[in-house]
Every structure is written in structure tokens, then in C-alpha cells.
Structure 1
Amino acid sequence: MFALRDAIYLIELAFYAPIVPAILSILLLHGNKSPYTWRPIVIPLIILSGLRITAAGLGLAAMDPAKSNLLQTATLLDTIGLAPVLCLLIGLLIRANAPVYKGLPFWVFIPLHMITIAATVMTAYGGRDLYASRESEAQDLRLMRAGIVLFIALFTVIFLLSVITMLKVRVKFYRTERAAVVCALLCVPFMSVRLSFSAGSLFSGARSVLSPMSGDETGIWLHFLMVIVMEYIVTLSATAVALTARKVVVLTAGKDEE
């Protein structure tokens, strides 16, 4: 008999296992050559799928009483996802601007990746002993809160760049690029929910139902709906855009290169 958390791990595995062959299909369909590479989208997809499949595998393995210590690792892995999902949105914008005349240059997005890394390090270091009773607990919590504030600021910038990019891809010729930007904009409400949950879990205290370590049934459902499902909608949307995008042929020096 599966417990609620075990059933959610099964659903999570069913969500992300098909993403792996989808990634291979994207690579085979579009190749890996510049300037219209899909690497900025494929790499976050690989990272996020790897995290989710590993967490689900460890969580299911923890059903064995002898391996129950794996449950904490699975839970912590399940809380990681904000950085790769935001990088996925950044990747959509990079791909959308690549062929656009006077589009946003690649270097504009480099600081966004740097902020993502900084925020990830802050939240990961602060949460290394999440809500443990230690002398540095207050300091670690402040560090995690600063990291989530950085994530929120980063998301705001991504939204603004999405609007700017949308204005640049209104030409009918930029069909794939327009689809990528529309995808990024449609993901805004789902990412807003995801960020709200993370902020709430850090500012409401360790005993809150929003805590990722909560064993309460309500807390487990909230984490599933506001983290796993929200991230999966963004993941699935970006994957669909990449799979359905037209195959680009670039003419260089008299040769056709995919």
C-alpha cells in the first residue's frame, strides 16, 4: 500500500521519465550547431529531469525500512528546481533572440545566469541543515531569504525581457521565436505560484504547512501542487516548443548547415 508521499513520487517519475527521450529527440531534430542552438533549453531540461527522476527513485527506494534514511535526501532534492526552471525561461529568450534583427544579444543574459548561480549557492548553503537546531540557524535562514529575494528579482527581469522580446518577434517570419516568447510569458503565472510558495516556506517558519520538510498531508499536497506541478507545466511547455519548432537551415559560405 502506497503512502501519499510514495504515490507522489510515482507521479513525479511518470512526469519526468518521458522528458528524457524528448530531450534526445530535440538534439536529433535540431542538432547542436550555432546560431540557432537549443542548448540553452536542453541543458536545464537535463538538470531538472535528472533531479526529479533521482528524487523519485530515492523516495521509492526509501519505502524499504532498511533504506528509510534516503527519504530526507529525496525530499531535499525535490526542493531544488527553481534555478533550472528559471534557466529554462532564460534559454527560451536566448533562443528567441538568436535570429532576430537587432534582437537582444547573448551577453545580456549572462548576468541573469550569474544571479541564478549566486541565489542557488545562497539557498543551498543556508539550507544545508534545513531548520536544524543550531547556533547559526538564524543566519542560514537570512541567507536563504536573501537567495529567494534574488530569485524573485531575477524572475521580474525575465518577465520584462520577455515583453521586450515579444515586441521584436511580431514579424510573421519569426514563427518559432514568437512561440518561444509566448511560452515564456504564459509560464509567468505558474512561476509566480512557485516563487510564492518558496517565499512563504522561508518567511512563515519551520512549523508552517508550507515547509518542504512538512510531513503533514496538507503540506505534502501543497508541495506537490505548487512546486512539482508548477515546474512541470513550465518544463512540458518548453519541451513542446522545442519539439514542434521548425528545423532551421542556415546558409554559410555556400553550404547548408543544419
Structure 2
Amino acid sequence: MRVTPRVWIGFAIWIGYTALVVGIQSLSGISYTAWGDSAANLFFGAGVSLIIATVALALTTSALGWWRPAMRERQRSRHRWPIIAPVFFALLALVNLLLTDWGSYDLPFLGASLVLLLVGFTEELTARGLLLTALRSRLHEGWVWFLTSLCFGLFHLVNILLGQDAFVTVEQVIFAFLVGTAFYILRRVTGSLVYAMILHAVWDFSVFAVAYGHPSELANIVTAVVPLAGVIALIAVPFVIRGADERLPRPVPSAGASATS
């Protein structure tokens, strides 16, 4: 690694990512609640910020030299069964996609909505990639899970600034913490962030897709089941934390440096 991980660097990246995305989305002048009105609203309201953030995060990760610790676990969880939590969310995403009114999608809107898949890369790399790597330089794995999931949830508070109702936003923050816990479990069990990126992208896309056009009333059932899936994740997460040895070793000064200090 070119730069030694520090906790403050992780939080600086999280704050910087949040400011970048919200700043670009605010400059578009398009309300969060109006993204689904047209392909142009969706692309300029959300897509442009995700494209720019993807490039910025890739450059940042390369400059720090953190790709390996950000993307891979040194040691996978000894317990595999907790993967049922992210699998549960994957099944809910599949149900969303099956209930989606695909007839309402035209080609431009479909193309704009596919850009939303980048959120899996950007938000996972920020929270459960770079922030996680930074936190592991000092903290126990239990705090790493909690703080990465909390920051992931709190990121969604900015939707208030983009025009979303405050109560709905707080609800979204809580759901994001629960879903983020499932993404953390998926990283620990598989040993790779890639699977969490994929599930995150599909989950967000499915939630947006099922609400577009003429939403099926059955979609409300999926929304009602999300807390249950989140509870399963909370029950399972201690088992992937237990025995984790992911704290990054602190740099050891060379013999020459010790002799002169």
C-alpha cells in the first residue's frame, strides 16, 4: 500500500464521496422524487454523479494503493450459514424484478436506469471497501461492521436535501443499515467485495424498477418483509465477526530508523 491506512482517511473519503455526489445532484436542479419522471431526469439527476464518483473513487483507490484490502478479505468467515441473510435480500430483489411493470420502460429510460447499477460499485467501495480498510487499521471487527453499516445508512440522510420527505428518509436510513449489514456478511463469507457490489447494484435497481410505471400491489409485501430480512442479518452478523482477524498490521520501523530515533 502506498499510503498507510488511517481511520481519518476512511472518514474523509466517506465525507468526500457524500459531498461530491450530493453536490452534483443538487446542481442538476432535479428533485430526488422526480428522478423517475423521465430518462433525462434520471440520468442528469443521478447518473452523472455516479459516473463521476466511479472515476474519482477508482483514482483515489489507486493513489492510496488500497485495492487489495478494499476488495478482498485476508481470511473468510469460518461460518458460512450467515449467507442466508444476503441470499434473502437477493430473493426479494428477484421478486421486485418479476413484479416490475417492464411495459412502462422505453429504451432511453431503460438505458438511464441501468446507470444506477454503478451505485453498487461506488457505495460499496466507499463504505465496505475504503472506509472498512481504514477502520481495520485501529478497530475491532465489531466496530468495523457497525460503523461501516451506520455510515452507509447515514449517507441516505442527504436525500432530505434533494427533496425527499424526512420521515421516509429516516425509514430509508434504517433499512440501509440493515441491508448494509447483509452486504457486510456477504463480503465476510465470500471473501470478496465484488459479490456485495453486484447484490447492491441489483437490489437498488430492483427497488427503483418495481416502483416505476404501474407498481404491483404485491410489491408492498416485499417492503414489509425487508425488516425481517434485516433482523436475520443482525442475528447472523456476530457469527461472521467472531474470530475475525482482519486488523491490518501496523508498520514496523526499519532497524536503521530505530537506531537514529
Normalising to structure 2: TM-score of the pair?
A: 0.30
Structure with greater contact order relative to length (CA < 8 Å, sep ≥ 6)? 2
Q: Larger % of helix: which?
A: 2
